Amino acid sequence: MTDRYLVEPDMDFVKEVVGLGGDTLKKCFQCATCSVVCPISPDTKPFPRKEMIAASWGLKDKLVGNGDIWLCHNCGDCSTMCPRGAKPGDVLGAIRSYAITEYAVPKALGKAVNDPKKLPVLLAVPAVLFALLALITVVFSGVMTSIFDVIGLEWSHGGHDVLAHANFISTWFVDLVFIPLTGWVVVIFALGLKRFIRDIHDNAVLEGKTDKKEIDIKEFLQAFVRVLPTIIKHEKFSECSENKDRTTAHLMVLYGFIGLFIVTNIFFFVLYIFHIPGPYSQLNPVKWLANVAGISLIIGSILMIKSRLAKKDQSSTYKDWFLIGLVLALGLTGMLTEMTRLAGTAFLTYLLYYIHLVCVFCLFAYLPFSKLAHLVYRTVAMTYAEYGKRT
């Protein structure tokens, strides 16, 4: 006897998917061309046809907690070959955006990050915060200078008599903002991933994708190690044909972020362990890595913009442009801050440093709610697929 499944359509979910870029959903007539042409779809329970069916019926629970929506890299092959123009890749992208907001808390902030009308407020929060920190730093430095003048000594904030950004916003203040902020982001991801992993496992068991009743943590971590080279080399992007050129841009942005992460941690260690404050020499190899990573970030984001502008038949929503614009602004302000400091233009370098800090704050604080969260969720989904031995 065949299994019965009670269909309970969630029409609000369908409307959300349509509004997030899946407006072509209803054009699908279930020909399965998308699953046939997809070069990265598993042989067992292939996507995206079953996801298109579930989305059309409004089966939110079968999609939001479905690891397969993350195995799709939105390469565009299925959308190009679709005879009805249903654009399955865009639909799955919209479902992923919905899932990110669903798993991250607080949900109000998730909706605000993806609402262009809320952008001024999201930018105002760090803008006001760092303006206040700059004011406190400058006032404190002025007071200390006056005191030292009275006693006949010279006050040098941070131990520098050269142009340094710590003279504008104290490094201590910056770290007091970003260290707790990083912890907050980690907690949000941890809470979301706990639900996410449970949901994709339950769905996998229900759909017969795995025969494992419980997740073995040790085997799961081993699966992560095995899948990591695939992620680092972007091998799945390389298997696609329609948007294969996106591989280079994505790799440049990915490696740019990795490089800057390494640089930030090294200089943090040098400052607080060896008590050697910046600015550091341009001959320092770590500075070379920082400059290369920054340039990689800029070029990669520009290539992404160029690719999206060229692909007019593919959906590009606010969430896409928000992320790309933020990454480009982050790279440009970082490099220009360094260049203007070396040029000795105090006002300009302080202004650019201020804007750069606002961009970094937005990247960190809104990471669990923005499209960039796919780095975490897709990694976990690919790890689970490897863990479940799906081929």
The verdict on 256 and 117 lying in the same domain is yes
| Predicted pLDDT of residue 155 | 46
| Predicted pLDDT of residue 180 | 95
Q: 3-state DSSP helix/strand/coil percent for the chain, to nearest 5?
A: 70, 0, 30
Q: How far apart are CA 300 and CA 280, in angstroms?
A: 26
The verdict on 39 and 177 lying in the same domain is no
- Which distant-in-sequence residues (6+ apart) come within 8 Å of 254 by Cβ? 232, 234, 300
Q: Is residue 203 part of a domain?
A: yes
| Predicted pLDDT of residue 159 | 45
Q: Is residue 312 part of a domain?
A: yes
Element (H, E) at 293: helix 285-310
| Predicted pLDDT of residue 210 | 73
Low-confidence ranges of the chain (pLDDT < 50): 1, 144, 148-149, 153-155, 157-160
CATH number at residue 86: 1.10.1060.10
Q: Specify the 3-state DSSP secondary structure of 44.
A: coil
| Predicted pLDDT of residue 193 | 93
Q: Are 227 and 386 in contact (CB under 8 A)?
A: yes
Q: Specify the 3-state DSSP secondary structure of 304.
A: helix
The verdict on 121 and 80 lying in the same domain is no
The verdict on 131 and 268 lying in the same domain is yes
The predicted-structure confidence for 167-195, as pLDDT tens digits, reads as follows 899 888 999 999 999 999 999 999 999 99
The predicted-structure confidence for 49-88, as pLDDT tens digits, reads as follows 999 999 999 999 889 988 899 998 888 888 888 998 889 9
The verdict on 71 and 208 lying in the same domain is no
The verdict on 170 and 308 lying in the same domain is yes
Domain stops at, among 50, 78, 103 = 103
Q: Is residue 4 part of a domain?
A: no
Q: Is residue 3 part of a domain?
A: no
- Residue with the two structure tokens 């006002």: 347
Domain stops at, among 56, 76, 103 = 103
Q: How far apart are CA 31 and CA 128, in angstroms?
A: 53
| Predicted pLDDT of residue 347 | 93
The verdict on 86 and 194 lying in the same domain is no
| Predicted pLDDT of residue 208 | 74
Domain stops at, among 68, 103, 138 = 103
The verdict on 70 and 196 lying in the same domain is no
| Predicted pLDDT of residue 241 | 75
Q: Are 321 and 371 in contact (CB under 8 A)?
A: no
The verdict on 46 and 125 lying in the same domain is no
Query: Positive or negative, the Cα torsion across 382, 237, 97, 63?
Result: negative
Number of domains in the chain: 2
pTM (two decimals): 0.87
The verdict on 180 and 32 lying in the same domain is no
The verdict on 259 and 352 lying in the same domain is yes
Q: Which residues form the domain of 220?
A: 112-387
The verdict on 37 and 170 lying in the same domain is no
Q: Is residue 333 part of a domain?
A: yes
Q: Using omega within 30 degrees of 0 as the cis cutoff, is the peptide bond preceding 229 cis?
A: no
**Tokens for 371?**
């499209």
Q: Is residue 128 part of a domain?
A: yes
